[in-house]
Amino acid sequence: MKLPAHAPLHLLHQAAAGTLATHSRQPEGYPYPSVLPFAPDARHRPTILVSRLAEHTRNLQADPRSGFLIVHAPDGDVLNGQRVTLLGSFEPVEPAPEIARRYLRYHPDAERYLMLGDFTFWVLSLERLRYIGGFGAMGWLDADELDPLEPLSFEEEEVLTEFFDRHPRRGGDVDLAGIDRYGADLKIGGQRARFIFDAPKMDSSSLHEALADCIERHAD
């Protein structure tokens, strides 16, 4: 069935947590679900921060193949809300400063976990996804169908974040967690919100203009 344009992509930016399903080591062969906060990376893939001692981390070390379920149902009606199941393999990534900074913009409280030294970042190498957005709006996508555009670099996103933070019209309770060519992820009073652009923004100038419009709409 035909999917709404970019709906699966935006859904990956609208929820703060997802359900990770790994292959259990003990008892062997069973699916092992656990709930985790995540942040989408520049390619919209979930990045998780997990303890080396956690059962799901040990499962991933033995078999990285995973499912990751994300649900967005603000009114509590899960069956009529949006949901997406991602299939792929979670892979550990080096805790580069830019990865940590981006993750902490989404989850500031995670800084205390990073200070423990026991937590590591993992990112989902996506193969396929199944999106359900309501009656008649569902279907499968391969990973390369999610977003064909070149993602923003860490440096580009840092420049745009600084622009947002320094803008004189920025509301005091509005923070920018992340930005991509399709929209901006906001924290408004600590709550996640997605500002969807009217069209993909292909250059720095149009991205700055879109952010300025976002700031104006959320100004005090």
Average pLDDT over residues 140-158: 95
Domain edges within the chain: 7-146, 154-217
pLDDT exceeds cutoff 90 at 57:
yes
Average pLDDT over residues 98-125: 94
**What six digits make up the tokens of 133?**
């957005």
Question: What is the CATH number assigned to the segment(s) 154-217?
Answer: 3.20.180.10
Distance set, CA 78 to CA 60, 63, 81, 99, 130 (Å): 28, 30, 5, 31, 16
Superfamily of domain 7-146: Electron Transport, Fmn-binding Protein; Chain A (2.30.110.10)
Average pLDDT over residues 83-107: 95
Local confidence band at 74 (pLDDT 50, 70, 90 cut-offs): confident
Local confidence band at 29 (pLDDT 50, 70, 90 cut-offs): confident
Report the pLDDT value the prediction gives residue 220, as an integer from 0 to 100.
Answer: 64
Average pLDDT over residues 167-194: 94
More confident residue, 68 or 79: 68
Q: Kindly provide the b/e burial profile for residues 8-35, where b requires at least 16 CB atoms within 10 angstroms of the residue's own CB.
A: bbbbbbbbeebebbbbbeeeeeeebeee
Average pLDDT over residues 57-85: 93
Report the pLDDT value the prediction gives residue 202, as an integer from 0 to 100.
Answer: 97
Local confidence band at 1 (pLDDT 50, 70, 90 cut-offs): low
| Rounded-to-integer distance, Cα 101 and Cα 16, Å | 16
Report the pLDDT value the prediction gives residue 77, as an integer from 0 to 100.
Answer: 85
What is the DSSP secondary-structure string of the chain? -PPPTTHHHHHTTT-SEEEEEEE-TTTTT-EEEEEEE-EE-TTS-EEEEEETTSHHHHHHHH--EEEEEEEE-TTS-TTTSEEEEEEEEEEEE---HHHHHHHHHH-GGGHHHHHHS-EEEEEEEEEEEEEE-STT-EEEEEHHHH--SPPPPHHHHHHHHHHHHH-TT--TTEEEEEE-SSEEEEEETTEEEEEE-SS---SHHHHHHHHHHHHHHT--
Tell me which amino acid residue 6 is.
Answer: H
